[in-house]
Amino acid sequence: MNSTKLVSLGLTALKSNVTHLDRPYKLTFSITYACQSRCVMCNIWQIKPSGELDIREIGEFAQRNSCFKWIEITGGEPFLRSDIVDIVRIFRDSSKDLYVLTMPTNSLCNQDTVVGKIEAILKLGIPKVSITISLDGYRELHDRIRGIPGNFDRAMGLAKRLRNLQARYQNLFFVFGYTMGKFNEGQLMNTVRGVQKELPWVTANNFHVNMAQTSEIYYKNSEMNLKPDASGFSTELESFIKARKFEIGVIPVIENAFLKKLDYYIKTGRTPMKGRSLDASLFMDSYGNVFPSIMWGRKIGNIRDVDYDLSRIWHNAGAEEARKLIKEGKEPHAWTACEAYQTLVGNIGSLLV
Ligand code: SF4
């Protein structure tokens, strides 16, 4: 059953190399903009959201659009939604080939509740459930970046609990998500070593690195200058890549390719290859607005206006115009994991060099 879903995802990703897909296989869905962090690089926490999609609407959307094989649920802090397990269950029931679910957390919600919800999600039987614990520095640095005293220790506590949960659930994966920017320049390996002092089983492979990005529709931080010095970043990234142990598997191959292209992106400011937004993937916010990606505020529609049927906006004039711009390389330049993975597998040759 799991291998059938994996084959289905793999075949669709391969197909995206040679033709346009008639529907996306990856959904990035911000289920809420509520967040109790106070991050220096993001303004989401300043939003006081109201009128977000409720569980009935999410159910309508999931039932009418059963094409997703990979869902990235994000926020805000997704675990602030008390119905997060129901949301996942709805997608599990509707998208029969759903293979991967990823979710980030800032570790600030009640941890008994979060671990209970993660366990309930694991029991739903999605083959891969990946939790990203945000961690941008060692102890005081992380707490300062996130604006919450004690946040580092809470992240360590959650990691320990997830490690215990892994002993019982083979479908659970988790990493530390390190956002790299001006605010933590030169601190990546120091953070890896700091975490190792707390959790000796951790290696560099347990870290996922992303560049801090700006986005008017998502982080609401367009005015910020977050990019670190390019040469310092390259050196830091090189040490990190060297510290990672060789691993066999599709995900390590994609992750390594992602990191190498990240270096290219920071040096040139250009997306390393043609993106797969509005072909393989889309971003939907918690109000049902649909965009090509998190990084591109070009709205193509709202699912509330089309009876929750994505196909009614997937080929509208706005979507076709955005695709034309993507084809011409005129979309905003970015390189984030939420877009890069499907871009890499949709440009399969890039994984070989
Ligand atoms: S980066 Fe994440 S945790 Fe921080 S304010 Fe933004 S949504 Fe919240």
DSSP 8-state secondary structure symbol assigned to residue 277: B
Indicate if the pLDDT at residue 104 is higher than 90.
yes
Strand residues in the chain grouped as ranges (E): 26-30, 70-74, 100-105, 128-134, 172-180, 207-211, 281-284, 289-291, 301-302
Spatial distance between the Cα atoms of 336 and 79, rounded to a whole number of angstroms: 22
Mutational pocket test of ligand 1: of 44, 145, 219, the residue with most ligand atoms within 8 Å of the beta carbon: 44
Q: How confident is the model at residue 18 (pLDDT cuts 50, 70, 90)?
A: confident
Q: How confident is the model at residue 228 (pLDDT cuts 50, 70, 90)?
A: confident
Indicate if the pLDDT at residue 176 is higher than 80.
yes
pLDDT confidence of residue 90? 98
Task: Report residues whose beta carbon is within 6 angstroms of any ligand 1 atom.
Answer: 35, 37, 39, 42, 44-45, 75-77, 106, 134
Say which residue the tokens 């986005």 belong to. 215
Q: How far is the CA of 138 from the centre of ligand 1 (A)?
A: 18
Q: Where along the chain do its domains lie?
A: 2-352
Mutational pocket test of ligand 1: of 28, 33, 42, the residue with most ligand atoms within 8 Å of the beta carbon: 42
pLDDT confidence of residue 338? 79
Q: What is the mean pLDDT of the chain?
A: 93
Q: Return the residue whose CA atom lies nearest to atom 2 of ligand 1.
A: 76
Q: How confident is the model at residue 287 (pLDDT cuts 50, 70, 90)?
A: very high
> Lowest-pLDDT range, 120-124, 155-159, 187-191, 212-216?
212-216
pLDDT confidence of residue 21? 87
Half-sphere exposure of 178 (CA within 13 A, CB side): 26
Strands 289-291, 281-284: pairing is: antiparallel
Q: How far is the CA of 74 from the centre of ligand 1 (A)?
A: 10
Percent of the chain with pLDDT over 70: 99
Q: Name the CATH superfamily, with its identifier, for domain 2-352.
A: Aldolase class I (3.20.20.70)
Q: Return the residue whose CA atom lies nearest to atom 7 of ligand 1.
A: 76
Measuring CA to CA, how many Å separate 343 from each of 17, 20, 211? Answer: 9, 13, 16
pLDDT confidence of residue 219? 86
Q: How far is the CA of 101 from the centre of ligand 1 (A)?
A: 19
pLDDT confidence of residue 349? 77
AA letter at 169: Y
Half-sphere exposure of 183 (CA within 13 A, CB side): 25
Each residue's pLDDT tens digit, 182-222: 999 999 999 999 999 999 999 999 999 999 988 888 888 98
Indicate if the pLDDT at residue 283 is higher than 90.
yes
Listing DSSP states for 141-179 in one string gives HHHHHHT-TTHHHHHHHHHHHHHHHHTT-TTEEEEEEEE
Peptide bond before 150: cis, by omega within 30 degrees of 0?
no
Each residue's pLDDT tens digit, 46-101: 999 999 999 999 999 999 999 999 999 999 999 999 999 999 999 999 999 999 99
Phi and psi angles of residue 143, each rounded to the nearest 5 degrees, phi first: -60, -35
